[in-house]
Copies of this chain bind each other. A is one copy, B any other.
Amino acid sequence: MKFFQKEMILPRYRRGFHLITDQIRDEFSDIKNIDIGILHILVKHTSAGITINENADPTVRQDFESHFNKSVPENAPYYRHNYEGPDDMPAHIKTSIVGNEISIPITKGKLNLGTWQGIYFCEFRNYGINRHIVLTAYGE
């Protein structure tokens, strides 16, 4: 039984949905040492999320951005928390809808994702900062 953990700092991303599967794989090589196990990822922020979705066509990620902007609007008249800018409160809500932590099975040293699955980092603020994530891999 092995447990590995690493904190990783992502580059600054512009607002939107971004594929980070390869970065995770490359920067957390301990995944290779696990035959059967799990990789857990937490985004340590309240206005950025993480999810698993389509890894090929960039228009999917653009449509994600369009959908969530419409369904979680800026400047809704009922928002009270608005002193950090119009993109702030929607960013908090989007984070809890999409989620900010995921677990992925590891099989024979590799992430066991479907052919079309990739890991999306979701930057919900207009001007993203350097985001910290915690990677925890465990298994045998």
Listed in ascending order, the chain A residues whose CB lies under 8 Å from chain B are 1, 3-5, 36-38, 40, 42, 44-46, 51-55, 57, 59-60, 62-64, 66-67, 70-72, 76, 78-81, 89, 92-93, 95-105, 107, 112-117, 120, 132, 134, 136, 138-140
Residue A78 contacts which of B63, B103, B117, B138 (CB distance < 8 angstroms)? B63
Q: Provide 22 A-B residue pairs closer than 8 Å at the C-beta atoms, listed in order of the A residue.
A: A3-B36, A3-B140, A37-B136, A42-B105, A42-B112, A44-B114, A46-B52, A46-B54, A51-B96, A53-B95, A60-B81, A60-B89, A63-B79, A64-B96, A66-B78, A67-B72, A70-B76, A71-B71, A97-B97, A101-B103, A107-B134, A138-B139
User: Shortest CB–CB separation between residue A121 and chain B, in angstroms?
Assistant: 12
Closest to A93 in B: B67
A79 to chain B, nearest CB (A): 5
Taking the full assembly, how many copies of this chain does it contain? 3
Main secondary structure of the interface of A (DSSP, over half): mixed
Beta-carbon contact of B46 and A96 below 8 Å: no
Instruction: List the B residue with the shortest CB-CB distance to A100.
Output: B52
CA distance A10 to B34 in the complex (A): 27
